[in-house]
């Protein structure tokens, strides 16, 4: 009986996501259940984190439901991961139908068309070679025609390149104008010009630190949490790399998580999502960040304007 129930719920999930409109009666008919039982199933989905939307007489599931976001994050490649796989396929000497099909699927699904044309690959190769030469001689370079997705501009950047990362997909540089260390995508650089000027800011070069939540920065922010059973299980499930930073308490019901993070965004989302099962122990900056987030959410719920927005330390 229990298996039959889950079978109906899975079938209901498929019906509510197949891009068709169904009334309650139509859904009940498709599942061969009464409308009363159907409403039980819908309530179960709501309690499980799905957002059931009713428009007029028709039902559907919100694709932004937490479950779908987690499922998407677990099974779908990021664009960077897809580009990396595409580079590996491009480097393969094999010539067969499966390889060609995989290339086409990656190009279409992740909008990589043009990124791996012969001209684009040659440009990227030349950029990497020039950057390596500049790093060997500790020379300043100009990244000509750098296309920034954040500022939505194309400009020249005068930088001191000191580290190639992610299989030469990214270059870590000290930028003169901003007096900051930044990461640039090699594929977004039109060309690299080496200047007859040597590094003058080597003391400011900072390696990039990536935390267990996959946020990166050049500053390490210490945090310390006390986790209950639920928070402990979910942290290990969603971020297995957190295991070395966890230690059990004597009561065997709580764990201490102590680690450095690059940004409060990732750890903050985790804490706010499980605030009833987590106690923030350190440090004061992170406590203030969480307090600001809670205040901001409270202001939004009450309908008044937030007094101060929460800022992420990066």
Q: What's the CATH number where 161 sits? A: 2.30.30
Residue 33 has pLDDT above 50, yes or no: yes
Task: Decide if 229 is inside a domain.
Answer: yes
Helix (H) or strand (E) holding 85: helix 79-91
Q: pTM value?
A: 0.47
Query: In this structure, are 123 and 182 located in the same domain?
Result: yes
Query: In this structure, are 232 and 165 located in the same domain?
Result: no
Domain that holds residue 295: 210-302
Query: In this structure, are 62 and 100 located in the same domain?
Result: no
Task: Decide if 309 is inside a domain.
Answer: no
Query: In this structure, are 88 and 133 located in the same domain?
Result: no
Task: Decide if 242 is inside a domain.
Answer: yes
Q: What's the Cα-to-Cα distance from 70 to each of 49, 158, 268, 275, 314, rounded to whole Å?
A: 11, 40, 17, 19, 25
Query: In this structure, are 59 and 16 located in the same domain?
Result: yes
Query: In this structure, are 201 and 133 located in the same domain?
Result: yes
Task: Decide if 233 is inside a domain.
Answer: yes
Query: In this structure, are 96 and 161 located in the same domain?
Result: no
Distance CA 240, CA 219 (A): 23
Residue 298 has pLDDT above 50, yes or no: yes
Distance CA 110, CA 108 (A): 6
pLDDT in tens, 45-58: 888 778 888 888 88
Query: In this structure, are 199 and 244 located in the same domain?
Result: no
| Domain boundary, last residue among 47, 66, 85 | 66
Q: Over the chain, what is the mean pLDDT?
A: 84
Looking up residue 49, the CATH number of its domain turns out to be 1.10.10.10
Distance CA 22, CA 42 (A): 13
Whether 228 and 279 have beta carbons less than 8 Å apart is answered as no
Task: Decide if 137 is inside a domain.
Answer: yes
Query: In this structure, are 132 and 185 located in the same domain?
Result: yes
pLDDT in tens, 180-194: 998 898 989 999 999
pLDDT in tens, 193-207: 999 999 999 999 988
Count of domains for the chain = 4
Task: Decide if 313 is inside a domain.
Answer: no
Q: How far is CA 40 from the centre of its chain?
A: 35
Of the two residues 90 and 222, the one the predictor is more confident about is 222
Task: Decide if 311 is inside a domain.
Answer: no
pLDDT in tens, 106-125: 777 676 766 666 777 788 88
Query: In this structure, are 220 and 201 located in the same domain?
Result: no
Looking up residue 228, the CATH number of its domain turns out to be 3.30.70
Lowest mean pLDDT among 64-78, 129-143, 235-249, 269-283: 64-78
Residue 254 has pLDDT above 60, yes or no: yes
Burial 195-209 (b: 16+ CB within 10 A, else e): eeeebeeeeebeebe
Task: Decide if 307 is inside a domain.
Answer: no
| Domain boundary, last residue among 207, 241, 268 | 207
Distance CA 77, CA 106 (A): 10
Average pLDDT value for residue range 27-56: 86
Query: In this structure, are 287 and 218 located in the same domain?
Result: yes
């Amino acid at each position: 009986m229990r298996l039959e129930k889950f079978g109906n719920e899975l079938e209901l999930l498929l019906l509510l996501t197949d891009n068709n409109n169904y009334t309650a009666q139509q859904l009940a008919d498709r599942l061969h259940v009464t409308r009363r039982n159907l409403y039980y199933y819908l309530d179960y989905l709501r309690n499980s984190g799905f957002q059931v939307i009713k428009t007029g007489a028709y039902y559907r599931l919100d694709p932004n439901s937490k479950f779908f976001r987690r499922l998407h994050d677990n099974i779908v490649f990021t664009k960077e991961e897809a580009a990396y796989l595409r580079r590996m396929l491009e480097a393969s000497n094999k010539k067969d139908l499966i390889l060609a099909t995989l290339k086409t699927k990656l190009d279409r699904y992740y909008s990589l068309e043009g990124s791996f044309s012969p001209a684009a690959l040659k440009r990227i190769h030349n950029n990497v070679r020039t950057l390596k030469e500049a790093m060997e001689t500790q020379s300043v370079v100009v990244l000509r025609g750098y296309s920034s997705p954040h500022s939505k501009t194309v400009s020249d950047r005068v930088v001191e390149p000191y580290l190639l990362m992610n299989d030469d997909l990214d270059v870590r540089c000290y930028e003169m104008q901003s007096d900051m260390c930044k990461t640039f995508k090699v594929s977004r650089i039109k060309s690299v010009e080496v200047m007859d000027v040597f590094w003058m800011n080597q003391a400011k070069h900072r390696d990039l630190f990536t935390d267990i939540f996959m946020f990166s920065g050049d500053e390490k922010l210490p945090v310390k949490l006390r986790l209950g059973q639920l928070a402990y299980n979910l942290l290990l499930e969603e971020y297995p790399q957190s295991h070395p930073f966890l230690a059990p308490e004597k009561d065997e019901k709580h764990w201490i998580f102590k680690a450095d993070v690059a940004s409060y965004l990732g750890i903050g989302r985790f804490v706010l999502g499980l605030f009833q099962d987590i106690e923030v122990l350190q440090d004061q900056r992170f406590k203030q960040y969480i307090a600001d987030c809670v205040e901001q959410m409270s202001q939004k719920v009450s309908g008044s304007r937030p007094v101060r927005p929460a800022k992420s330390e990066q």
